[in-house]
Amino acid sequence: MKGNNLGEFEELALLTILVLGDDAYGVTIKQAIIKQGERQISRGALHTALSRLEDKGFLTSRQGEASEARGGRPKRYYEVTNKGKEALHEAKATRDRLWNQIPEVRLELQYAW
Amino acid sequence: MKGNNLGEFEELALLTILVLGDDAYGVTIKQAIIKQGERQISRGALHTALSRLEDKGFLTSRQGEASEARGGRPKRYYEVTNKGKEALHEAKATRDRLWNQIPEVRLELQYAW
DNA sequence: AACACCAAGTCTACATTTTAGAACTTTATT
DNA sequence: AATAAAGTTCTAAAATGTAGACTTGGTGTT
């Protein structure tokens, strides 16, 4: 890819991180995505996407603390970079522009009879 | 994939077909995508996506006539199915919902100084 | 100190999507 | 018949998406 296009899952992940703000790490991101009701995802799936996004400069991460509850491995918090935000805006703009060019009629569902 | 998620290129293609309406076939779709100014794509790339979308029931195709100008192989016209439209609406809804949950501040670009 | 146990991140490997470019097909023109 | 034009189809590789097993780092219990 040219390097600036986001895959659909990547985009979903970035948006979710922006929604979560300060509290975006693996588990919360996963929960949020699932809660959006859209799909089931695994830890692994998410983390590979996140680390690819980081490689490409769409987000950065920093080590956090362990969970209070019962200990556990330290969290890794994610933050969307400027580049990431720009990519999101661009993706949105392109699609919005396309949606605006579609006449209403053409969106109606057809039923056989 | 589960079977109902659209890849980002797939989505772009479906939207473009809706924009083009009656005149959507390989070449016009390709031109339209490029003209949206977003990217360069090859014939092959587009056609594989289209046929995959057809396999998945997001669009149908029918054979058309050859070009008037100078002949040539008959065109294949594409049309988005109900299922395709629904998938587009869903994808849009999910993202719009996410965008609405992002506070303005969090979208601002950061500059070092 | 040793051990169980929990929360989370990392690794591995395979499936699906994206991509480009070469090859092919059909028709028109000369 | 040969060549050109307008398209589509094939092939193969790179990028993304995905699940599940594995590891690590911490806390609590004895």
| Tokens 């392109």 sit on residue | A94
Q: Which residues of A touch B39 (CB under 8 A)?
A: 2, 5
Structure tokens at A1: 């890819």
Q: Kindly identify which residue of chain B lies nearest to residue A85, measuring between CA atoms.
A: B107
pLDDT tens digit string along A18-69? 999 999 999 999 999 999 876 899 999 999 999 999 999 999 999 877 666 6
> CB-based contact (8 Å) between A60 and chain B?
no
* Amino acid identity at B53: L
Contact B45, B53 (CB under 8 A): no
- Domains present along chain B, CATH in parentheses: 8-95 (1.10.10.10)
> What's the confidence (pLDDT) of residue A68?
62
Answer whether A93 touches B (CB < 8 Å): no
> Quick count: other Cβ atoms within 10 Å of Cβ A106?
16
Give the C-alpha separation, A77 to B112, whole Å: 20
Query: How many other C-beta atoms lie within 10 A of the C-beta of residue B24?
Result: 24
**Size of chain A, expressed as the number of residues it contains:** 113
User: Which one of A8, A86, A98 has the shortest CB-CB distance to B6?
Assistant: A8
Q: Is A95 on the interface with B (CB under 8 A)?
A: yes
SS (H, E, C) chain B: CCCCCCCHHHHHHHHHHHHHHHHCEHHHHHHHHHHCCCCCCCHHHHHHHHHHHHHCCCEEEEECCCCCCCCCCCCEEEEECHHHHHHHHHHHHHHHHHHHHCCHHHHCCCCCC
CA-to-CA separations, A56 to A2, A86, A87, B4, B30, in angstroms, rounded? 11, 13, 11, 27, 27
Question: Are B8 and A91 inside 8 Å of each other by CB?
Answer: yes
Whole-number pLDDT of residue A81: 96
Span B59-85, mean pLDDT?
A: 85
- Of the listed ranges A4-8, B46-50, B61-65, the least confidently predicted one is B61-65
Q: Quick one: pLDDT at residue B4?
A: 77
pLDDT band at B81 (very low <50, low <70, confident <90, very high): very high
Contact B88, B15 (CB under 8 A): yes
Contact at CB, B107 and A92, closer than 8 angstroms: no
Say yes or no for a CB contact (<8 Å) between B36 and A102. no
Cβ within 8 Å, pair A36-B97? yes
Residue among B38, B82, B91 minimizing CB distance to A94: B38
